[in-house]
Amino acid sequence: MILLPEPGPTLLAPSWVPWCASAVGQDAPPPKGAIYIDDIGSAGRPYDVVEGVALIGVTGMIVPSFWYIGSSYVTGCNCLRLQLAIAFEDPQVHAIALVVNSGGGLVSGVADLADWIVEAKAAAGKPVVSILAEFAYSAAYWLASAADSISVPRTGGVGSIGVIMVHWDLSAALAEAGIKATVIKAGARKADGNAYEPLPNDVQERWTGECEVLRRLFAGSVAANRAAAGATLDLDAVLASEARTWEGPAGTAEAVAQGFADIVLAPDKALQALIDHLNAQRSV
């Protein structure tokens, strides 16, 4: 197993933690069909356009920076912002659909990107909808909440509005293997959370507190975004969810009833509904 390089808070659905941990540090060729970010100008639009709707994918693990657009495994906040910025200025684009299928990712970059989406769509005057191809958990849900509406398929899911952090204590395993690690530091807190010593209680308490601060930031953003979209959802209700997920036919229906999504709808039908709405506006 490949461990995360250092402990730190993440916005991941619990089931995605092992997968993302194993993905870190893997060496692989560029995703097939992906666009290198520096080639955007010569490669044409970094998204597909269907009847005036720009389709922008939010898939796989969400990270602050990535250098390819179109990967099924990783979405960089920098790439997503660039795609959206171009779409907002594109005269052939009248609406944007975030096509989401992600269990979340790292904290860094997500809060600022979600805020920017809210501001940029208002400035551009173009609607943004989140069409879940299946699910949007944690960081992916935070980004999805910045849209004007969220549709979720009946077999999909939403939620996981919380923060998770994993500390790996390898001290017993190393001792059993006859290996002794000596941590040399300058600064009393420099080695806090290292994997070669048990995690001190005071460090765990501090990190738990930091995770709670991030959870409240996350929940506050979701509550504000969903309220702006017309949902009857407030901060207390988001916090009361305790980072649960809503999935499957019963769960997605409950999510809609509570305001965490707007409609249970297959992705193709959600896209067609948006296209029909645009066509109706043009005919007025």
Catalytic residues: 138, 190
Give me Rg for the CA atoms of the chain. 21
CB distance 126 to 96 below 8 Å: yes
For residue 71, the Cα-to-chain-centroid distance in whole angstroms is: 14
Q: How many of the other CB atoms lie within 10 Å of CB of 126?
A: 20
Residue 175 backbone class (left: φ over 0; alpha: ψ -120 to 50; beta: rest) = alpha
Q: Tell me the β-bridge partners of 159.
A: 137, 245
235: amino acid identity, one letter: L
Q: How many of the other CB atoms lie within 10 Å of CB of 1?
A: 6
Q: What is d(CA 95, CA 263) in angstroms, rounded to the nearest whole number?
A: 18
Tell which residue, 42, 32, 48, 135, has the closest CA to residue 83: 48
Q: Tell me the β-bridge partners of 132.
A: 100
Helical pair 201-228 and 110-124, crossing angle rounded to 10 deg: 10
> Which pair of structure tokens corresponds to residue 211?
């995770």
Tell which residue, 107, 104, 98, has the closest CA to residue 140: 104
